[in-house]
Amino acid sequence: MIRDVRRWTSPVVAGVLATASVALVNPLTSGDAGPGAGGHPVVRNVIFINGDGMAAAHREAARLYYAGLGGQLVMDGFPVSGQLTTSPDDPEDVVTDSAAGASAWATGVATYNGAISVDTAGNPLPTLGAQAKAAGKATGLVTTAQVTDASPAAFFSNAVDRAAQDDIARQYLQVSKPDVILGGGEDWWLPAGSPGAYPDQPPEDPTEGSRGTKGDLIAQARADGYRYVSTPAQLAAAGRGKLLGLFANQEMFQQRPEGQGDVYAPVVDLATMARKALATLSADRDGFFLLIEEEGVDEFAHNNNGSRTLQAMGELEKAVAVAKQFAATHRDTLVVVTGDHETGGLAVEDVNAADESGTGTSAEDGPFPVRGSDKSFVIDWTTTAHTGQDVPVTAYGPLAGRFTGKHPNTYVYDVLQPLLTR
């Protein structure tokens, strides 16, 4: 029997579709930016978007829910598509975590789970973010996770253990120096006993609280010329220049099963952060590299929370639309959308009371409506962990065609590194 879940109604539906209808105008082919040296299209800006934990079934569930049977997500409407494998180089595991997955993108080297851009012997590797910065480009990261969580960390730091988030924050300021840092994770920037804009031990999660061991890194960021913001109004008022925005103690949501304190209501939504980052970074005449990540897809899928997984997918879709709109008017911009791994073993199924549904991790979520029809679907889960599925990659802009075919996840580095360092 299909179990009932708490239904939610979100304004994201209309917002995503309205934004997508604008963003789908004037799709680019791989050569539309015009020739550069050697006759190759020019890529001045790269926007790399990670739907953490997102694979093909997550995208299909979101398509049905937000666009309907005949509709299409913005991310799926990109003119180029391919696949990426996700296997780590781990002594025990064949399924990747976010750290190894993002490290493969950022360095071109497969490594062990928990590694942040170090090889299997723990040696630090050059990262895309640091190399782009050294080449004179502006750089930035936007995430609904902690800004020092595994995926953004892999592009801008090195650590033998992803848990070293306070040292990762220190490296941002002292080593890789991204120009824009927006997301959650204030706790890692302040020493224990020194709460910042977000109080320690909040009622929604009493385990949260400042825990850094590297001193007051927010004060250091200000001394280094960053403007620090912690509210939507402050973010909106921030002018051009280096920008640090921390909008939660940890992640910008509460990741739990349905009805057990699960909350997805970021202080600032992903699309707004992405729009601000693009406005700031695009002032650099040498171009920029921007990482955008929606962490909620992964975290809610870990909790087999179909409603919130769909909500996070909707927020990711809005951010993709922002990136595509930017690229449509900045024809030297390459946009790439993918996921670091699959989470939950998600399957999209018909509503069928006779079908096996099970309990616990094999239970079904739903039914969820298919937009614009009288049909519905359920989401079935097989695990609360990651799986080894390939992930789709879609691309838009000059040289997008390089992402056709099936490749290892290290291939992302092979394509992007020459574009960001020339």
Task: Please tell me whether 356 is known to bind a ligand.
Answer: no
Task: Please tell me whether 52 is known to bind a ligand.
Answer: yes
Predicted pLDDT at 422: 85
pLDDT category, 40, cuts 50, 70, 90? low
- Predicted TM-score (pTM) of the model is 0.91
Residue-wise pLDDT for 121-141, tens only, equals 999 999 999 999 999 999 999
Which candidate, 84, 69, 79, 62, places its Cα nearest to that of 28? 79
pLDDT at 11 over 60: no
Task: Please tell me whether 149 is known to bind a ligand.
Answer: yes
Residue-wise pLDDT for 262-319, tens only, equals 999 999 999 999 999 999 999 999 999 999 999 999 999 999 999 999 999 999 999 9
**Which residues participate in catalysis according to the annotation?**
98
% of the chain beyond a pLDDT of 90: 85
Predicted pLDDT at 15: 44
DSSP for 188-241, written as a single string: GGSBTT---SS-SS-TT-TT----BSS--HHHHHHHTTPEEE-SHHHHHH--SS
Segment 243-254 shows an average pLDDT of 97
| CATH topology for the 14-349+388-421 domain | Alkaline Phosphatase, subunit A (3.40.720)
Question: What ranges do the domains of the chain cover?
Answer: 14-349+388-421
Task: Please tell me whether 374 is known to bind a ligand.
Answer: no
Residue-wise pLDDT for 69-87, tens only, equals 999 999 999 999 999 999 9
Partner residues linked to 143 by β-bridges: 293
Alpha helices in 216-305 (DSSP H): 217-223, 232-237, 270-281, 296-302
pLDDT at 1 over 70: no
Cβ density class 242-265: b for 16+ within 10 Å, e for less: bbbbbbbbbbbbbbbbbeeebebe
